[in-house]
Amino acid sequence: MEPAVVDAGSGILKFNHALPEYGPEVIPTQMKQVPEDESSTDASLLENVIVDPVVRGFIRDWDAMEDLLSHVLYTGLGWEIGNEGQILFTDPLATPKAVREQLVQMMFEKFNISGFFASEQAVLSLYAVGRISGCTVDIGHGKMDIASVIEGAVQHISSRRFEIGGLDLTNLFAQELRKSNPLVNFSISDVEKLKERYASCAEDDAAYQKIQQACPEEQHTLPDGQVIKIGRERYTVGEALFQPSILGLELHGIVEQLVRCISTVSSENHRQLLENTVLCGGSASMTGFEDRFQKEASLSSSAIRPCLVKPPEYMPDNLSKYSAWVGGAILAKVVFPQNQHVTKADYDETGPSIVHRKCF
């Protein structure tokens, strides 16, 4: 049986057997808590509580995560109780040791799997494009990571994690839309879909300024029938990553952050890192984001310009959204057959701390 690869993000969970050509199955990570007692038949009392097992990239609600994973593994992938296979997880940057250990513990004790491996998302995204060194800019739903990887090892000193992500962009979009359409009620899931459809990046700073003054407006009909106008708000969302002051944060734009992170690495590696930059994550597939990134990169203050890597032709087109999963599938094909993973026997002998020794 093929090992399973799971990439649990704050917004969507990607899972499938380790078949890189096929890409992952995708389900939202958000869960609704169903009240246990069925005696209350009064519908108005049933409050649907939304539970987020993964917050800002890290697993926070372990019971919810367990329920989600049993659905994914037993129902989604067709595992049978008593015959569980091997699984590879992806970790975001700077995952606390306790979180990793708790995940290993849950997998071996509750799910009784036969083999486990965990790897950092930055390394996996690079494997997906066929590199072992380079830097990744991973813009996810709950967090943004800028990581530099040399020969498969993340350089933690020069990697940074930001607590902004697609979620904050959605909130910004909702805020802007409410300002220009004051009579319309939005729900967050509607705004999320609108953002995915309409958000784009202006070509450069000057173009953005022009758009702020005058922008063609588009009409859009919401599922409940209300009609809204979307104009320059869509560009505001795209601009927020390059000028975080729009989100109210005192940070430099994304390209500047990348250059600063790389500058803390010894200079012999600079070229290798900057010329192999990978953009991944859902928000990085915004219209115009790559072009804007390239443009900002050519204006950046470093001697070596960041260059984006082109994914190999045999990879599917929307690779940047799922590159961590695809890299995980590639790694799973190497690690499990060679027995470099954590086996049940290893776990029984050493305990959860074995994940720090064997998985990196």
Partner 1 sequence: MSWQTYVDEHLMCDIEGHAGLRLSSAAIMGHDGSIWAQSSAFPALKPDEITGIQTDFNEPGHLAPTGLFIAGTKYMVIQGEPNAVIRGKKGSGGITIKKTGQAMVFGLYEEPVTPGQCNMVVERLADYLIDQGL
Q: Which residues bind partner 1 (CB under 8 A)?
A: 150-151, 153-157, 264-266, 338-340, 356-360
Residue type, 333: K
- DSSP letters along 235-259, please? HHHHHTTT-GGGGT-----HHHHHH
Nearer Cβ to partner 1, position 229 or 356? 356
Nearer Cβ to partner 1, position 161 or 358? 358
Nearer Cβ to partner 1, position 44 or 266? 266
Nearer Cβ to partner 1, position 224 or 268? 268
CB of 268 to partner 1, least distance (A): 10
CB of 334 to partner 1, least distance (A): 11
Phi-psi domain of 339 (left: phi exceeds 0; alpha: psi -120 through 50; beta: other): left
CB of 327 to partner 1, least distance (A): 18
CB of 226 to partner 1, least distance (A): 51
Query: Could you give the angle at the alpha carbon of 32 between the alpha carbons of 28 and 34, nearest 5°?
Result: 145
Query: Biggest alpha carbon distance in the chain?
Result: 69
Residue 332: DSSP 8-state: H
Nearer Cβ to partner 1, position 27 or 150? 150
Q: Helix, strand, coil proportions of the chain in percent (round to 5)?
A: 40, 20, 40
67/61 Cα distance (integer angstroms): 10
CB of 332 to partner 1, least distance (A): 15
> How many Cβ atoms from other residues are within 10 Å of residue 43's Cβ?
6
Residue 11: DSSP 8-state: S
Residue 312: DSSP 8-state: P
